Structure 1
Amino acid sequence: MYSTEKTEEWFSVYVDSFRVDGALENMQELKRKHSWRVCGIACAIAESLEWNEPRDRWLAHAIGLLHDTARFEQYRDYKTFADAASFDHGDRGAEILAREFDWEDVEDGDREKLLAAVRFHNKIEIPPKTPLAQYRWCALARDADKIDVFRMVQSRIDNGTIYDMLPRHKKVTGLSPALVEEVRATGRGSYKNARSLQDYRLIQLTWGLDLNFPVSAATLREEGIFARIAEDLEKYEIKDLTGEIIKKIYNM
């Protein structure tokens, strides 16, 4: 199964099983396209880091494409991508893949790398006890996923479709004081304190502190993504906080 073509075929058949009358729901289609983009980003990062062994190239491709496997079931059954209101999509994705993916001829160590990357791509952090052989693949999944979400959110803000993607954030405007204080205290923000698009943007900015590879931060910096977030939050008088976060990101 060390074949990108076979992996793509498995993914396409799996996703197609969620089609109704030949079509995915809009949010499932969003995740299908996201998965393909993350696949490309993961492969590009791996190539830039010279992870050039054939199995490394396959792992980067498979991890990117399969990281959100559980999202399709999640939206079908719960009509949400909120893990707190349904299930942990990283854990569920690893369970689905362990049970249903074609593992023929894939060595056990590579199987565990892929499953760990899927399981931990959405966690607050990679568990410290994660074996070193798996750790870099978890880091790759997290960076590639974040890069695409950064780009996707910025693009939708620019073209006026952001609330199609984040409908619940339309109900409230402004920053939550509890979230600002949480970010000041910990450098991270939790969704329990987030209500608005501005809250989401502040949380997203903190993601920059969790990027694992210099090329990831450099890519987003060159695209102006971090500066745009800071600009969008400027009127909320937290320039000291956003400036400090960006400075830390740029110095990583």
Structure 2
Amino acid sequence: MTNDKASSLSDEVTVSIDRERARTAFEAYLAPYDRENPRIALKAEHTYRVADLCDRIARASGFTQAGADLAWLCGLLHDIGRFEQLRRWGTFKDSMSASHAAIGVDVLFEDGRHLFDGSLARANATLPEALSHDDEFLAHARTAGSVRTFIEEPSADEIIRAAVGHHSDFRLPDDLDLRSRALCNLVRDADKIDILRVSCTDTVETVVGATEDELLAGDISPAAEDAFFAHQTVRYSDQSTAVDHVVGLACFAFELAYPASLEIMVDQGYLFELLSTPFGIARPYTNRATRALIGRMDGHLRAWIDEQLS
């Protein structure tokens, strides 16, 4: 987990952040998006929870007020690309649209021009004709989306850019400076904690796109099993079954960077709920091999967490 040196280095940033200004700016950015859409509402609520988690982890990890403020702001901005991703493509799947992290960086720092010219889109992403020349979005991105609407000073721009741009990476780049790495790790921790919460409070159909029967009868792939017992996260490309998704979420615990993050995840209770009653399903796995392996994983994870928190 992250050492004290890395987290203290992040506090060398002394830029002043007005949280109320940033909240107001975020609400202004969301104004054109349909808040009655449950997926838009979900991401807005997720954003505020992640920002609060960033603040909580930072404070528990010894960050100064300036460091905690910057962590909070990075959390507030981490998913800003999700709203335009959903409006344009009707999906949160990066593979079917564009990287939501890259959209966020583009909106905050590049006036949305790369999204506007189509260079961020995946090769298989089909954009509705009505959005192919969207001058209204470009104008909105240039005004309400600019990082300057959230924070006046530019001294923390590169850290914010890194935190937004790398929050969903499978692995952080090796060339990040220690301050950026500390904030990136913190945002990634907070995001994982709330993703786990969202997954446990929604249905398997919504989260995974499978039925309860399909989940309970499914196998755990060798790739997911290997990643779990190696204490690594499971690549999305390696999650070939609905149960793999459950295992992948449980693996979030292994790669949390801050001790406070693991404590928060355990205190919330969703981690073991996910293994015992995935998505609130009380029926046992009908696949005997899966049922037995999930039981082993549950015991292994509990022992590992006891060791980490002792």
Which of structures 1 and 2 has the larger relative contact order (alpha carbons within 8 angstroms, sep 6+)? Answer: 2
Identity of aligned residues (%): 24
Q: Distance in 2 between matches of 1:35 and 1:211?
A: 19
Please state if 1:49 is matched with 2:61: yes
Query: Which one has the largest radius of gyration?
Result: 2
- Kindly state the Cα deviation for residue 107 of structure 1 after the two structures are TM-superposed: 3.5
Please state if 1:203 is matched with 2:248: yes
- Kindly state the Cα deviation for residue 145 of structure 1 after the two structures are TM-superposed: 0.8
Aligned residue in 2 for 1:225: 270
AA partner of residue 205 (structure 1)? A
Q: Distance in 2 between matches of 1:251 and 1:130?
A: 30
- Kindly state the Cα deviation for residue 200 of structure 1 after the two structures are TM-superposed: 1.4
- Kindly state the Cα deviation for residue 117 of structure 1 after the two structures are TM-superposed: 0.7
- TM-score under structure 1 normalisation? 0.85
What residue ranges of structure 2 are gaps of 5+ in the alignment? 1-15, 111-145, 279-283
Aligned residue in 1 for 2:5: none
Aligned residue in 2 for 1:8: 23
- Tell me if structure 2 keeps the 8 A contact 1:230–1:243: no
- Kindly state the Cα deviation for residue 154 of structure 1 after the two structures are TM-superposed: 1.8
Deviation digits for residues 44-93 of structure 1 (CA, Å, limit 9, x no counterpart)? 1111123123x323212211111100000111111111111111111221
Alpha-carbon spacing, 1:11–1:142, altered in 2? closer, same or farther (3 Å): same
* SS of aligned partner of 2:276: helix
Aligned residue in 2 for 1:169: 210
Deviation digits for residues 16-70 of structure 1 (CA, Å, limit 9, x no counterpart)? 1223xxx4422111101110111111111111123123x3232122111111000
Tell me which of 30, 35, 43 is aligned to 2:42. 30
Q: Distance in 1 between matches of 2:61 and 2:75?
A: 16
Structure with the higher helix share, 1 or 2: 1
Deviation digits for residues 195-242 of structure 1 (CA, Å, limit 9, x no counterpart)? 554221110011111101111111222333332233247741213345
Aligned residue in 2 for 1:129: 175
What residue ranges of structure 1 are gaps of 5+ in the alignment? none
AA partner of residue 61 (structure 1)? W
Q: Distance in 2 between matches of 1:191 and 1:243?
A: 24
Q: Distance in 1 between matches of 2:88 and 2:60?
A: 38
Please state if 1:240 is matched with 2:296: yes
